[in-house]
Structure 1
Amino acid sequence: MKPPGEKQNQRLGTLLLNTLAREMRLWRAPVLKSGCIQGSDISPTQYHEVIVWLREMNGVFQFSSETFALGVCVLNSLLATVKTQLKYLKCMAITSLILAAKINEEDEVIASVKDLLEQSRCKFSTAEILRMERVILNKLHWDLYMATPMDFIHIVSSD
């Protein structure tokens, strides 16, 4: 790989600055307070477990790494926005991943919500997932195009 020229460096710099500006404007992360995510009864360990589970589900569904990264960003933004009970965490997580897949994956790759729930062995109904989709979209103002770590990796690794 040859070193980038000045024009390539300028393009890379512009891409990074634009992505960083978008991230600064939109990025929200859950805040820990008293050993739990602020506004919830979710501990860091429980959060970590649901992220690991979400990664496993991403593999089961054969979604891309970009979809997983966006799903985690959507979940984080939601957790930073709403008060949450632990019993809803998995529903929020799987719905965040499904929404990310609707943005990143080809339509033929995404199974129906019913099939995804069967594959994940979740005990949620299709209606609960669709209701959670509406909640997430409303709370995040229908803006799920968030900068993810994968975006930065792609920008830096592009020729």
Structure 2
Amino acid sequence: MLDKVTGSEALPFAVQLKGLLEKEARYQPKLCGLRILESANDNGLRMTAKLRDFEVKDLLSLTRFFGFSAETFSLAVSLLDRFLAAMKIQPKHLSCVGLCCFYIAIKTSEEEKNVPLANDLIRISQNRFTVSDMMRMEKIILEKLYWKVRAPTALHFLRLFHSHIQEKVDADSKKILNIDRLEAQLKACHCSFTFTKMKPSLLALALLALEIEEQHEFESVEALRETLQELQHQLSIKDGDLACVRELVAKCLIEYSTTKCSKPNGQRLRWVISGRTARQLKHSYYKIAHLPTIPETAS
């Protein structure tokens, strides 16, 4: 049976936070496996952090192409990182592993009517393996992850923290933090191996901390700082740890916004689809695949 994080929006904040924190450590990618990826030579024979990042960017393009939710993308990244940290795979198998993690996430997070056929997903992503290959790989992934599919992700924490802060501050302060902008920033962070070793709760808090500091010109920002400090205390996060991750997030977002930021391979993602497949796709599927623009200001 698939282990899922069920909807708990109606529960008090403290109860939701406790539930997420209790599961967080159990779903973290194995640190020893991540270190092996990080230290691997980029010779085409071993999995590397760079290859992982390219695969995540392709999954982000597919997420946008199909119009899937941020939950689906974050879950796919979580599954991919957990599997790569647990298993040694060859680079030639990465696209199959990535697409299978994506497919598991789709079937877990999206409405059944929006789940594409595996064959169509393979065709649109321009991969050359078969549906049988994909089904075998999906079974391997689920078994190696002990069928525990849905981990508490940084997106869960980000939305919970944002909602909690909004409830604690006045109307003027509420206008400062834009959740769409924060989620776009989180997607950029997902595309960097740097954050795979960090607790999702710490990454979410660092995103909020950076955003609050960058909105320092607003007079009402002090109320946000105080609420953020209360959250930090509840999470038992040290000032130094938060400052360190906040700086890493800032660096990531700067790199993301420059022309040097690696985009998904445009040549590979020029999808060719059949008429039958085209009729099944929603209009939103035909968006040009690219990394999303982070909103400049709060709405």
TM-score bin, normalised by smaller chain: 0.7 to 0.9
One-letter amino acid of the counterpart of residue 28, structure 2: W
Q: Which has the higher contact order (CA 8 A, sep 6+)?
A: 1
Aligned match of 1:125: 130
Equivalent in 66, 69, 72 of residue 67 of structure 1: 72
Aligned match of 2:35: 32
One-letter amino acid of the counterpart of residue 36, structure 1: A
Aligned match of 2:16: 15
Quote the Cα distance in structure 2 between the aligned partners of 1:122 and 1:145: 25
Unaligned runs of 5+ in 2: 1-10, 168-299
Aligned match of 1:6: none
One-letter amino acid of the counterpart of residue 24, structure 2: E
Q: SS in structure 1 opposite 2:12?
A: helix
Unaligned runs of 5+ in 1: 1-9
- Report which of the two structures shows the higher radius of gyration computed on alpha carbons: 2
Provide the aligned length of Structure 1 versus Structure 2: 148
8 Å contact 1:91–1:124 — kept in the other structure? yes
Quote the Cα distance in structure 2 between the aligned partners of 1:32 and 1:123: 30
8 Å contact 1:61–1:116 — kept in the other structure? no
Quote the Cα distance in structure 1 between the aligned partners of 2:129 and 2:62: 15
Q: CA deviation at 1:19?
A: 0.3
Per-residue deviation, residues 127-157 of structure 1 (Å, max 9, x unmatched): 1111111001111111102111111122123
More divergent stretch after superposition (22-31 vs 98-107):
22-31
Q: CA deviation at 1:120?
A: 1.0
Q: SS in structure 1 opposite 2:151?
A: coil
Per-residue deviation, residues 24-53 of structure 1 (Å, max 9, x unmatched): 12221541237229xx81122111111111
Q: CA deviation at 1:126?
A: 0.6
Answering whether residue 113 of structure 2 is matched by residue 113 of structure 1, we say no
Q: CA deviation at 1:61?
A: 2.1
Aligned match of 2:221: none
Equivalent in 145, 149, 153 of residue 140 of structure 1: 145
More divergent stretch after superposition (101-110 vs 147-156):
147-156
More divergent stretch after superposition (106-115 vs 11-20):
11-20
Q: CA deviation at 1:75?
A: 0.6
Q: CA deviation at 1:13?
A: 2.4
Quote the Cα distance in structure 1 between the aligned partners of 2:128 and 2:21: 38
8 Å contact 1:60–1:119 — kept in the other structure? no
Quote the Cα distance in structure 2 between the aligned partners of 1:107 and 1:92: 22
Quote the Cα distance in structure 2 between the aligned partners of 1:100 and 1:74: 8
Normalising by the residue count of structure 2, what TM-score does the alignment of the two structures yield? 0.47
Q: SS in structure 1 opposite 2:61?
A: helix
Quote the Cα distance in structure 2 between the aligned partners of 1:12 and 1:23: 16
Aligned match of 1:5: none
Per-residue deviation, residues 39-85 of structure 1 (Å, max 9, x unmatched): x8112211111111111111122211110000000011111111111
